Structure 1
Amino acid sequence: MRIEELNQEQNQQEISGLLEEHSRRMDDSIPPYEREVISLAAYEGDTYVGGITGDMVWKILNVHLLAVDPVYRGNGLGAILLKELEDRARSRGCKVSELTTMSWQAPHFYQKQGYGIFGEIHDCPQEGQTKYYLKKSLE
């Protein structure tokens, strides 16, 4: 046996196949693990000013990245992007949204958008900082 690096896309396909096979053996009513990506961008004229990405699996939206150009922060663009992502996921059947953020990033922003903290890792990546796990019902 050997362990080697493999192209991420190919490896994800192989892993997904193994997981699908396992799920079918455990409970054949479990739906397929099908990932759908949503990627939204905001522009002021021709200038990129922010964006958000996420994916949906098993009626769960997983928010990956959200950023707004510092010049445009504080005007609600982050909330608009997040709401648009949530609305599109909801229209595709998603029931809940989940994400992670760091203590120096945006935990309070997400809480203002209706997300609740359900987990924390303290002293990550270094002492005094925290990684937060948040979720929100989309129903």
Structure 2
Amino acid sequence: MATLQRESDVAATREAVVAGLSAYNAARVGPRNSEPLALSLRDDHGVIVGGLIGELKWEWLHIDLLWIDEAHRGAGHGEALVALAETTARERGARGVYLSTMSIQAPQFYPRLGYQPCGVMEDYPVAGHRIHHFAKAL
């Protein structure tokens, strides 16, 4: 018999769920082969003024975060970070890239780089806004 309960030990519960789901997925599509990706843009003093955080998993790169400090926007740094991420993904055998961005961020940025919209969720993160999902074959 199984019972449902709320857990106070989130870390242990997460670990069990990730292990179970990973085993299930690996049995069907192979191991995840997860590899983190971190790229930075630094100013003349070495301070990070932009960057991209992602994860290579299976045959895809997931871009989780992309940020450029406002003082450095408009100079092509975002495009350069995405291009470097794509190059890295290709070198690691990825077939594509996927990501999400909110309407308050830069949904118009990614189509210029060849990304295709693959979904929109309305009223996220709050009513009147949306989150856009994009993908690109490499």
Shift in Å at residue 5 of structure 1?
3.6
Shift in Å at residue 7 of structure 1?
5.6
Deviations 1:100-121 (A, max 9, x none): 0011211111111111111011
Structure 1 SS opposite 2:42? strand
Structure 1 SS opposite 2:109? helix
Rate the CA distance shift 1:62–1:12 in 2: closer, same or farther, 3 A: farther
Shift in Å at residue 33 of structure 1?
2.2
CA contact (8 A) 2:100 2:134 kept: yes
C-alpha separation in 2, matches of 1:80 and 1:42:
10
Normalised by the length of structure 1, the TM-score is 0.85
- Identity within the alignment, %: 31
Indicate which of 7, 12, 23 corresponds to 1:4: 7
C-alpha separation in 1, matches of 2:129 and 2:26:
40
Rate the CA distance shift 1:22–1:48 in 2: closer, same or farther, 3 A: closer
Normalised by the length of structure 2, the TM-score is 0.86
State the 4+ residue runs in structure 1 displaced beyond 6 angstroms: none
Rate the CA distance shift 1:79–1:6 in 2: closer, same or farther, 3 A: farther
Q: What is aligned with 1:86? A: 86
Unaligned runs of 5+ in 2: none
Amino acid corresponding to residue 3 of structure 1 in structure 2 = R
C-alpha separation in 2, matches of 1:60 and 1:91:
12
C-alpha separation in 2, matches of 1:134 and 1:24:
25
Paired residue total: 134
Shift in Å at residue 130 of structure 1?
1.2
C-alpha separation in 1, matches of 2:19 and 2:8:
18
Note the aligned Cα RMSD (angstroms).
1.9
Structure 2 SS opposite 1:80? helix
Rate the CA distance shift 1:77–1:17 in 2: closer, same or farther, 3 A: same
